[in-house]
Amino acid sequence: MEKKIKPIFDDTTTVPALLRNVVKHIHPATETFLIDKQGTEWVEISFEATLSNADAVSAFFLSKGINKGDRMGLMIENGPDYVYYDQGIQQIGAINVSVYPTLSEHEVEYIINDSGIKAILVGNNFLFRKVLKIAATCPSLEFIIPAFDGFEKISIPEDVKAIVLPFKTILAQEVTATVAAEIEKRRNEVTPSDLSSLIYTSGTTGTPKGVM
């Protein structure tokens, strides 16, 4: 009798499980997964380093009380930081709300408030300034996370209540054995029917609408 081989990915696979399934069944953890240009050099980033950084993101947000179903924003160019943040929030059941960098301040404010974003990762000083201008009118926003150097030179308005915290600090979060076990538990609780991402339309014909 022919042995039936279980597929690596099927209709029970979740987004947070994808990379770990790849490492378990296809590529060694030490193999290159991402390549990032840092200055004039191209740096290779392994699957292992990627998952480690994602776990640090998870550990930080778990320590801040982020739970399954919470909305977490990203307004950043494609790159390793996007992957770390996305994988880190999704494996604890939080929802990725990616915000187009080209949207106006008013549209960004609307999306943050409509979705109830609790934290937002921003990729450069222009986007950081944009978020700072509207942060005071976004009551759900608890963390503004710059993922670039030199953000300290930008003045933060006095009426902004959200905590400004560099992404480097989050990536340095310690992941103890207890926390790692909690992350695994949360990841296993994510189901294929859970909401993974909210993508807002461009708003060309009206107010942007969140697509699930």
> Once rounded to an integer, what is the mean pLDDT over residues 65-75?
98
Q: Mention every residue, 6+ apart, whose C-beta is less than 8 A from residue 46.
A: 29, 30, 31, 32, 33
Phi, psi of 37 (to 5 degrees): -85, 115
| Neighbouring C-beta atoms of residue 173, cutoff 10 Å | 18
pLDDT digits (tens, 9 = 90+) for 111-132: 999 999 999 999 999 999 999 9
3-state secondary structure of 182: helix
pLDDT of residue 7: 58
pLDDT digits (tens, 9 = 90+) for 150-187: 999 999 999 999 999 999 999 999 999 999 999 999 99
Give the residue extent of every domain in the chain. 15-35+42-187+194-211
The residue ranking higher by pLDDT, 25 or 72, is: 72
4 has pLDDT over 70: no
Q: How confident is the model at residue 12 (pLDDT cuts 50, 70, 90)?
A: low
204 has pLDDT over 80: no
Extended beta strands in 39-116, E state: 41-46, 71-75, 95-98
d(CA 212, CA 57): 23
> Once rounded to an integer, what is the mean pLDDT over residues 73-91?
97
In the numeric block, which tokens belong to residue 192? Answer: 């294929």
3-state secondary structure of 55: helix
> Once rounded to an integer, what is the mean pLDDT over residues 129-147?
98
2 has pLDDT over 60: no
pLDDT of residue 13: 80
* Strand order through the sheet with 163-164: 163-164, 143-146, 117-122, 71-75, 95-98, 197-200, 210-211
> Once rounded to an integer, what is the mean pLDDT over residues 31-41?
93
Does CATH place domain 15-35+42-187+194-211 in 3.40.309.10?
Answer: no
